[in-house]
Structure 1
């Protein structure tokens, strides 16, 4: 079977106590379950491996593709760097109420403690209700001792930085940066393949069994960046039918690609797979005479072996992700 067409995967839907109904009602995910918080669009996390939903490869999972096709799927450099692991995890997130205050360890700590990658990530705000906000970092310089005191006194909120958000805002979340997605945010998230999260405050909530969720207070102490850094806002241009860089780091590069009419993307010099996340509108992705429809809330993987893609739409907005 040829690796010559745009690939879709079955979404992996996740119940979350903070989840809402937008993944179903706005992004058209198929589920009767309530409080869906995450749709894992492309995952190589053990136990949650994405399965192909279209074309000749339908029914095969991402790990099988990585084994069968290697560099033709991910690119030669990624094959050498990651072997048969897929380096990023792609999600859509609906926060009906705020997520816990949390952070993620870097590669070294995650490897030592969890045999995992660290978790550098970025957010793109697809939709935001009026007055929606996010927590990103601290609002002042904080020592470890001050932080511990606030945790002990249940006053952690006092030292957290809150940012109001709107559609199109984008944020980069370094490892170690304390953060939380606020109520009313619909988010596209790109991150390293990791499910390691250190939860440090959960608004004194209990789960559906009446139990408070586990906190990782001690583990977090060695992982937190206590410095006040305004390095999270991502500014970018929005030129039509062009790849506008939003973020670039050793783990992924993301462009904003608004499409109107028809345009061709040349990936012949790109030694990587390409992921399209449709964050608004709908259109068609064509490669090697294979056309696949994409609409808001859907995701497509273009294997590295595909050199050229035609995009067509009366108006859609894509996030274009490579490694």
Structure 2
């Protein structure tokens, strides 16, 4: 078996009927990676049919699932016995038109509290937004499921939803069970639980796109109409490390007064940090598992240390690097400056 090292993956560009054109403009050196019609670019995932292979090195061509088969403990660390599979997926999304109004399932547990199927909480970091671009999350204040059902039957469900105008640098968390839709005119980095289940209520038939299957009955079962979105966090342009998402950041119980505060009530099963660096910096992680670095601007040399191992990695715009759990000490050497996003599972 090859030694454990940080891994860069090939990206998997997927055509979508709502695709935009902003990713090639954000990452011009990689325009060929985002051919016309690309709506999603999967950077890291362990999903059937959507698991990019390792880009280079001794493990080149192997998927994340294949890596875990031989390196599970080294990659996941102390979480290796409790996780069903790799817990996160990262992708770039580029929209010219709105996505379907949809919902994702919540985590499911057995009677003993053990996770048996993963839901899909996700977060979005806005990289570019047309003037007035919005993300729909939850219902407007004072409205409930009945209002939404009537609007859905009338073909105007968006009229009941909370439209949040966004701009570059905004971070929004979307908990599993919350009704939502990405609007048009956006490019963003999505960090999500590693789950491929999407349940659609509505897909904007007035836009003339090819009809896609709706799962209205199952979507209603999965949706918690009492959920309200947390406030957006703006990524700072100042030097340093900023927490965009922490596990204790927000709770999404429908009834706050009865929230037990256990793991099933926590809004985010992952953490996200923004690193803006123009000079060399050392960064020591505070969690036991793996770390994922995504480079959004600039470039850097990233040196990782752990258990006597040292590895040097070059990161350029749009690169996503998976650093196994055994590495916990990072040195960043920007050239000339760099914007990194660091994500990890909890």
TM-score, length-normalised on structure 2?
Answer: 0.83
Distance 1:258 1:270 in 2: 20
RMSD of equivalent CA atoms: 2.1
Distance 1:147 1:191 in 2: 26
Distance 1:198 1:136 in 2: 15
Distance 2:97 2:322 in 1: 31
Give the stretch that moved more between structures: 164-173 or 197-206: 197-206
Post-superposition offset of 1:239: 5.4
Give the stretch that moved more between structures: 269-278 or 25-34: 25-34
Structure 1, unpaired ranges of 5+: 110-114
Q: Does 1:277 align with 2:275?
A: no
Post-superposition offset of 1:20: 2.1
Note the alpha carbon deviations across 1:92-143, whole angstroms, 9 max, x for none: 111122111111111129xxxxx85211010001111222221111112333
Contact 1:126-1:280 within 8 A present in 2 as well: no
Change in 2 beyond 3 A, CA 1:282/1:130: farther
Corresponding residue number in structure 1 for 2:318? 297
Q: Does 1:63 align with 2:65?
A: yes
Post-superposition offset of 1:25: 4.1
Q: How does 1:93-242 map to 2 (within 5 A)?
A: 93-108=93-108, 116-204=117-205, 205-207=207-209, 211-227=210-226, 229-234=228-233, 240-242=239-241
Distance 2:24 2:159 in 1: 35
Post-superposition offset of 1:154: 1.1
Corresponding residue number in structure 2 for 1:15? 15
Contact 1:14-1:38 within 8 A present in 2 as well: yes
Note the alpha carbon deviations across 1:70-107, whole angstroms, 9 max, x for none: 1211112x201115x10011111111221111111111
Note the alpha carbon deviations across 1:143-168, whole angstroms, 9 max, x for none: 32222111111121211111111111
Distance 1:143 1:125 in 2: 28
Partner SS, residue 16 of structure 2: strand
Partner SS, residue 301 of structure 2: strand
Partner SS, residue 146 of structure 1: helix
Partner SS, residue 253 of structure 1: strand
Corresponding residue number in structure 2 for 1:256? 274
Change in 2 beyond 3 A, CA 1:306/1:228: closer
Distance 2:64 2:98 in 1: 31
Give the stretch that moved more between structures: 294-303 or 227-236: 227-236
Post-superposition offset of 1:260: 1.2
Give the stretch that moved more between structures: 255-264 or 306-315: 306-315
Q: Does 1:265 align with 2:283?
A: yes
Q: Does 1:317 align with 2:343?
A: no
Q: Which has the higher contact order (CA 8 A, sep 6+)?
A: 1
Q: Does 1:35 align with 2:31?
A: no
Contact 2:34-2:41 within 8 A present in 1 as well: no
Would you say how many aligned residue pairs link Structure 1 and Structure 2? 310
Post-superposition offset of 1:50: 2.4
Distance 2:47 2:229 in 1: 31
Distance 2:342 2:43 in 1: 14
